[in-house]
Structure 1
Amino acid sequence: MRKTLTLGLAAGIVAAIGFVAPAQAISSTSADLSVLHAIPGLTVDVYVDGALTLDNFTPGTLAGPLDVPAGDHVVAITAADAADASAPVLGPITLSLAAGSSYTAVAHLDASGNPTVTNFTNDISATPAGQGRLTVRHVAAAPAVDILAGGAAVVSGLTNPNEASLVLPASTVSAAVALAGTTAPVIGPADVVIKDGTLTIVYAWGSAEDGNLALATQEITVAHTNPGGVNSGTAGYAAQRDEMVRAIWIGGAAVALAALVAAVVIVRRRRIES
């Protein structure tokens, strides 16, 4: 069973693999926080600031984003259906969240197979028109890996819990994960869609020893492009909104002026004819 709860943060939670999160809820006083469960074979409950936030959170599930006030927040992960957060199996840990930023907290295995939590900062800066950002994160109990695209390494020697990013033209990339220095995939290949103005994050998670390595993906809209430039985050949406309002106002004024001119012409014609 999955429940959506409030933390006193007025935040909604949606869970899915291949989750798409618009980077527009953040503000000068809040941050976006998503949570990825990447520990195989363990269903958990997640508490934030002492409140049950994710109930029966299953492996391979991504939840969020939570729109949370900037500052420090304490996260504790307990066994499923625990009475409270007093006996965590992982944590408690403190996440420091900066206003106007986006984060994904990942519960995962370290390189030795021990449960841990890593809080990643998501790069939501604008990308050039027609391009998107691909970030690959190694959160698996596995040695260093290479990320392959079209059979060639585009990221080499990536270790747990690190990440690497590329800005690429919008396209579909066939990606695979191989042990560092090799080309035989241990995960994939899988098609990864790079979208214009989108941060696509691919997580390699699971355990090489247990043979359950897998991929999870997350998409965050970071910018809207137009012929005149690139808008990003809340500023981009606000600018687009203001432009739309301005266009509507100008268009309305033009229609009103045209109607007034037409009315004056009609009145003059009637006076002449009379």
Structure 2
Amino acid sequence: MRKTIAAGAVAGFVLAAGFAAPAQAISATTADLSVLHAIPGLTVDVYVNGALTLDDFEPGDLAGPLDLPAGEYVINVTASDAADDSAPVLTATVPLEANKSYTATANLTDAGEPALNLFTNDTATTKAGEGRLTVRHVAAAPAVDILAGGAPVVSSLVNPDEATLNLPVGTVSAAVALAGTTQPVIGPADVPIEDGKLTIVYAWGSAEDANLALAVQSVTVGHSTPGGVPSGTAGYAAERDAMNEAFGIIGFAFAAAAASVVAFMVRRSRAVKTDD
């Protein structure tokens, strides 16, 4: 889920967390907040509730997670050499709910204007052997396709939207192309899909200024305990179908097929030994 908090005719941004807390520190009374500075060419200071939280926060930096009591937080962004936050170039109030994980992004709109967005990270439990991939478009660029293996797996993603897939553990070679094309404007880059983790990929920067880039964030979400081991061809076929539906051409289908062959050969070998 994405909520637009503030935007304005300012030459800077953003928000923050000055120290790291343990990942997934959320509770019935607290929330986790991370911050990505995704406006090229600007260095700022960030004040949270009147206190200097990030000093000289630079583009591409990712801060957090910060474990915070649930509530509203006033964010003032100033020039990097400001004495205090009495004359902010941007101010915003950020509402944080308990037991949730958030990432705030200071980024450009598709028209190139500064904006502050608050994303709620999907921390629902994943299946054993799976991770979650979320892609977020926070760049000054038109709609894009997310490519894996040179083909689109997410189509026509616009700023500031996101798309999420649950995938088997492995490595995805991801790239970003303008919608309807396959020529990467960002990447390709290897993105790990880890068991019980949410991997978030941000496309940020400006297409016009030729400084588009990727940023990657990892959030621990946990995974369920396996209910059983798949047996027979039906189990492997279902596994392949789920992978193909989620992320067809990445190559995980090949890995699942290989696992199926190995399992079949093991069963056959055991059968031969029993006959002997």
**Alignment match, 1:78:** 78
Deviation at 1:13, TM superposition (A): 1.4
Matches within 5 A, 1:27-106: 27-90=27-90, 92-106=91-105
Aligned partners of 1:223, 1:12: CA distance in 2, in Å?
A: 26
Q: Are the equivalent residues in 2 in contact too, given 1:22–1:222 (CA < 8 A)?
A: no
Structure 1 pair 21/200, CA: closer, same or farther in 2 (3 Å)? farther
Structure 1 pair 12/141, CA: closer, same or farther in 2 (3 Å)? closer
Post-superposition CA distance 1:6-58 (Å, at most 9, x none): x9xxx8614xxxxx9621x1111110001110011101111111111000001
Matches within 5 A, 1:1-274: 13-14=19-20, 22-23=23-24, 25-90=25-90, 92-227=91-226
Equivalent position SS for 2:65: strand
Aligned partners of 1:109, 1:21: CA distance in 2, in Å?
A: 29
Aligned partners of 2:139, 2:226: CA distance in 1, in Å?
A: 41
TM-score normalized with structure 1 length: 0.75
Deviation at 1:138, TM superposition (A): 0.4
Aligned partner letter, 1:130: G
Aligned partners of 1:35, 1:116: CA distance in 2, in Å?
A: 13
Equivalent position SS for 2:189: strand
Q: Return 5+ residue gaps in structure 2 as ranges.
A: 1-15, 229-276
TM-score normalized with structure 2 length: 0.74
Q: Return 5+ residue gaps in structure 1 as ranges.
A: 1-6, 15-19, 230-274
Aligned-CA RMSD value: 1.8
Deviation at 1:225, TM superposition (A): 4.5
Q: Could you say which structure has the larger radius of gyration?
A: 1
